[in-house]
Amino acid sequence: MNKVQLFFHHLFRFIWNAIFIISYPILASFGLLFIGLTFVFSKLSQLLASIRPEGKKVVIKESEWETLPHSNELLEAKLCKQILFGPAGFKLRRKDGVPSVLSDFVFGNKIRVIEEGFILEKWNTLDSKSMPDFDICLYNPDEDSLRSLTQIKSFDWHVSEKAENELSFKWFDGAQGGEVKVAL
């Protein structure tokens, strides 16, 4: 390199380093601010979700027959079908040995306990290509009855509101969402 090229090389390197040194704290602060805001909104979302609970949430693990929490020692679950990168299907039975309508179906692991009974995902198929295809049902343990409330084609659903004789379900399938109201 000749002296003119060497001079411009050092000048541009000095300018580049100066720009980097001046802008680095701004970029780092923006990154920390973004992470902080994400954390704050996450905690705020968790707080708001806990204000309006949708009943007691039950999560079933893989094992042999396992007693369901929040069921007053009434129901047991056993893993029946595990979909790769997806949910698991379970067989349910009454722990007291009484024959039940539950033994004929496969249910998802989302179970909500409300005053009227248990809200269950009754799978309509075990074929992973046809999933999600299930009915949201209400199981009344006193009468041993299973009543279909609505059909939802999304694994992401929750009870959003419970009025006197009405339940609202919200769902989202990744592209669109909706709300379904059903009478109890």
Q: Could you read off the pLDDT of 105-162 as tens digits, one per residue?
A: 787 777 778 888 888 888 776 666 666 777 888 888 778 788 888 777 766 777 777 7
Q: Which long-range CB contacts under 8 A does 28-33 form with residues at least 24 apart? A: none
Question: Could you tell me the pLDDT band of residue 52, with boundaries at 50, 70 and 90?
Answer: low
Beta bridge partners of 179: 170
| DSSP 3-state of 165 | coil
pLDDT, position 85: 64
Its sign, for the CA torsion 78, 83, 84, 87, is negative
The Cα 88–Cα 62 span in angstroms is 9
Residues contacting residue 78 through CB under 8 Å, at least 6 positions apart: 63, 64, 65, 66, 90, 91, 93
Residue 102 pLDDT grade (very low, low, confident, very high; cuts 50, 70, 90):
confident
pLDDT digits (tens, 9 = 90+) for 62-81: 557 777 777 777 778 777 77
Task: Tokens for 146, please give them.
Answer: 């299973």
- H/E segment holding residue 61: none
pLDDT in tens, 168-182: 877 776 667 777 777
Give the pTM.
0.57
